Structure 1
């Protein structure tokens, strides 16, 4: 389908020139010489981008923009204004214009803005498609995936949730093990009971036993009253033992009794207590190797590992990244009342990054980008340094790396420079200041280079 433009201006010669030039470039062109004609043309034709002059003979261009913006919110409006009327153009931007251009403008400058507008349209459509596809995904507690491995894990979760089988989750940090543990609990018959999570790595070794099993009054200095532990707190529910590989060997025998018999003794007591709990544990360590090394009890390992689930790292399921980003952005959109977007080119960079911190790192990176974003279009500069560094180490496009033997070295260097500038402008959604920062040059220098290359 052809890209469709509407030019609204009272200069007939300009309209004819624009119409002829852009029809030759493959665009579908509609023209209007005044406001009333523009109202008729925009109703009759399915145009995508409207170029609107502020000085029309029968209507105030700014008022017409406000009218069109409310009637046609999906269309892109670009203001054309004479030199010296930049203040009016700024007012127009506030009224809903996408951008403005100062007349007289070169055709290449106009086409650059058109490309920028269509990139934005494509980005909006991509986000709409993502939202539609998200509605049809199997989503649980914010855990989104389309990968085959994760769908197999979902099926396993559904099967084991109806049982009381002990589950061992293993995978790298940040892959979502705690989310899966909570999903199992929420889908089980114990969902009305408590879900008690214990990070075994965060509790000092000397305190872990009392945290898990509780203690009696006078069991140690400072124990002025009896206190129940996490196992008792999880009665009729689920206890989630995260970082189970950090439990010291000296405590593993008592933990084995709790896992095997659902019984234990409080610190300082000889009374055996029984509990009815479901036990889920998780680790990012190789417990089988720890068994061989003698740092983890073999009998405890097999008791914990009745049902084994390996959660794949995010780099092995990169197809999930756009959906996860969309989910995180949607939460920020609701909270900040701003319609954040990620361009296709930026999304490609984010998909290619290996995310050593997995889903947790991705979530934090998106939150940082939203905080630093200047407007609603996220830029690579809004993301952490390691992601920006990753982008800079990627090979440049084939259009840059391909050498033309018929050209001299200065000519080939100019081609490379031109391509890098165009890439930076596209990546930063036409924001010259951001593109200049990315390229490491001043705005004036970038404008000079743009004018130089647009003339050719």
Structure 2
């Protein structure tokens, strides 16, 4: 039987696509998958499993990745998950556990198939590869710097000040505080927002491969360089390059990066041609760079070059008054993804507010997701919390009252509108719909957590009534509650809907 070199599915030929990448530890498996793909008309390239993490990038050089058997390690999964707009993946003969742990990768998983490969099962997957389009980036997915505490207000103010400029920004803070969220805000509210946002984790790439990752290489530049490849500086042209964990970069690589930052030019490995670097640099690290400079572990000249505008992210324990708002926001995100919802009692939230959260917002998000799995569409009490958090409950916290109607208005899937007047501070403040309805509220001295939450609830209801011009039915729909429930809430908070009706 002759190979089919140009199978056609829906008007586009497989032969027109970039090659598929095959990741397998067994050469026989690689050869088998490559042969079947060639027969169906799709080119392929076998990727060495031990080097694949460094060869992947956001430039869409593969039409898809075939992940085969035991070759798929956690390191490879992490590298795939870090890609913002990576290629779709097909799992072959493997039970990959990626749901929850690797959210971006899970969104790109087209399907699973077992060996021996059968055309009847493989062809539908190839049709999905032909139809694949990278999801458009939705600003709402990374919009929220949730909270009304003084530390988070300062962060918003700093973003509003630095975003319009092209200055280099250094974001400092513990792991899990949301440094990449800040970097994305800076990009989105800058004049480069139409350009790409390219992130690279300097600590996740081996030192000997980081230069190629950042600057790219020409074909034959080193063993294994089978084709020319763009680096992250090229991919970020006209946009923002986010260098995460820059404190983990080797001293030798720091010298090369400093030269690029000074001259705004770089060269691909194996090329003598200089290219202009029209990118904005945003760096981040959880390390103390000043101490590293003193210990000769980080170059002082590079530190002063990137430390133009430092932004220090506060740990969650320094803004525990924001925890109720963060919890509401994180629950609403899970609900918007169709993963269900969960509520927390006042006692559970009080215990959570006393915990130090060493993993910061990331730890909180993971805990909420775990609670959702264990209590789908239910309520989380102190007994349901992890023991080390539940042990912080206090008898004076009151009864286990369930706050079921604390969910914010549904998350809009419309992109944020650009303000022609350039009111950047307002744009940053109102990026998250629920917190925008809660401006001005913080946990005051002598105020219980229950009182604080009721204040927030009242403001959400007032905001919904204002948006619906006093129409209870529309406000209840926006709040995700029954009309009768909202009527009861209006009586409870002594709210007159006529206050929000337009003058006749």
Give, in whole Å, the separation in 2 of the partners of 1:250 and 1:153. 33
Give, in whole Å, the separation in 2 of the partners of 1:197 and 1:292. 28
Structure-1 residue corresponding to 2:295: 293
Q: Sort the Cα spacing of 1:218 and 1:153 in 2 relative to 1 into closer, same or farther, 3 A.
A: same
Give, in whole Å, the separation in 2 of the partners of 1:294 and 1:240. 24
Structure with greater helix percent: 1
Equivalences for 1:215-230 in 2 at 5 Å? 215-230=217-232
Give, in whole Å, the separation in 2 of the partners of 1:200 and 1:331. 29
Give, in whole Å, the separation in 1 of the partners of 2:339 and 2:219. 52
Structure-1 residue corresponding to 2:153: 151
1:277 paired with 2:279, answer: yes
Q: Sort the Cα spacing of 1:306 and 1:268 in 2 relative to 1 into closer, same or farther, 3 A.
A: same
Structure-2 residue corresponding to 1:391: 390
**Structure 1 residue 278: deviation in Å?**
0.2
Secondary structure in structure 1 of the residue aligned to 2:199 = strand
User: 1:338 touches 1:376 (CA, 8 Å); kept in 2?
Assistant: no
Give, in whole Å, the separation in 1 of the partners of 2:192 and 2:377. 45
Secondary structure in structure 2 of the residue aligned to 1:168 = strand
Match of 1:313 among 309, 312, 315: 315
Q: Unmatched 5+ residue regions in structure 1?
A: 1-138, 400-422, 430-456
Structure-1 residue corresponding to 2:243: 241
**Structure 1 residue 164: deviation in Å?**
0.4
**Structure 1 residue 270: deviation in Å?**
2.2
Secondary structure in structure 2 of the residue aligned to 1:279 = strand
Q: Sort the Cα spacing of 1:331 and 1:140 in 2 relative to 1 into closer, same or farther, 3 A.
A: closer
User: 1:368 touches 1:382 (CA, 8 Å); kept in 2?
Assistant: no
Structure-1 residue corresponding to 2:213: 211
Structure-1 residue corresponding to 2:261: 259
Structure-1 residue corresponding to 2:375: 373
Secondary structure in structure 1 of the residue aligned to 2:204 = coil
User: 2:342 touches 2:376 (CA, 8 Å); kept in 1?
Assistant: no
User: 2:351 touches 2:394 (CA, 8 Å); kept in 1?
Assistant: no
Secondary structure in structure 1 of the residue aligned to 2:147 = coil
User: 1:254 touches 1:264 (CA, 8 Å); kept in 2?
Assistant: no
Equivalences for 1:153-172 in 2 at 5 Å? 153-172=155-174
1:353 paired with 2:352, answer: no
TM-score by length of 2: 0.50
Structure-1 residue corresponding to 2:482: none
Q: Unmatched 5+ residue regions in structure 2?
A: 1-140, 403-504
Structure-2 residue corresponding to 1:89: none
Match of 2:179 among 177, 180, 183: 177
For residues 183-224 of structure 1, the C-alpha deviation after alignment (integer angstroms, 9 at most, x for no partner) is: 000000100000000011111111111000111111111111
Give, in whole Å, the separation in 1 of the partners of 2:374 and 2:165. 46
Q: Sort the Cα spacing of 1:332 and 1:390 in 2 relative to 1 into closer, same or farther, 3 A.
A: closer
User: 2:247 touches 2:285 (CA, 8 Å); kept in 1?
Assistant: yes
Q: Sort the Cα spacing of 1:382 and 1:334 in 2 relative to 1 into closer, same or farther, 3 A.
A: farther
TM-score by length of 1: 0.55
**Structure 1 residue 331: deviation in Å?**
2.3
**Structure 1 residue 140: deviation in Å?**
7.1
**Structure 1 residue 326: deviation in Å?**
0.2
User: 2:201 touches 2:243 (CA, 8 Å); kept in 1?
Assistant: yes
User: 1:290 touches 1:296 (CA, 8 Å); kept in 2?
Assistant: yes
**Structure 1 residue 279: deviation in Å?**
0.1
Give, in whole Å, the separation in 1 of the partners of 2:203 and 2:383. 34
Q: Sort the Cα spacing of 1:244 and 1:338 in 2 relative to 1 into closer, same or farther, 3 A.
A: closer
Q: Sort the Cα spacing of 1:342 and 1:225 in 2 relative to 1 into closer, same or farther, 3 A.
A: same
Q: Sort the Cα spacing of 1:340 and 1:306 in 2 relative to 1 into closer, same or farther, 3 A.
A: same
Instruction: Identify the range of structure 1 (336-345 vs 226-235) with the bigger mean alpha-carbon deviation.
Output: 336-345
Instruction: Identify the range of structure 1 (331-340 vs 318-327) with the bigger mean alpha-carbon deviation.
Output: 331-340
1:323 paired with 2:322, answer: no
Q: Sort the Cα spacing of 1:314 and 1:217 in 2 relative to 1 into closer, same or farther, 3 A.
A: same
For residues 355-374 of structure 1, the C-alpha deviation after alignment (integer angstroms, 9 at most, x for no partner) is: 00001110111011011105
Report the structure number with the largest CA radius of gyration: 1
Structure-1 residue corresponding to 2:407: none
Secondary structure in structure 1 of the residue aligned to 2:171 = strand
Structure-2 residue corresponding to 1:414: none
**Structure 1 residue 333: deviation in Å?**
3.2
**Structure 1 residue 334: deviation in Å?**
3.8
User: 2:382 touches 2:393 (CA, 8 Å); kept in 1?
Assistant: no
Measured on the aligned residues, the alpha-carbon RMSD in Å equals 2.3
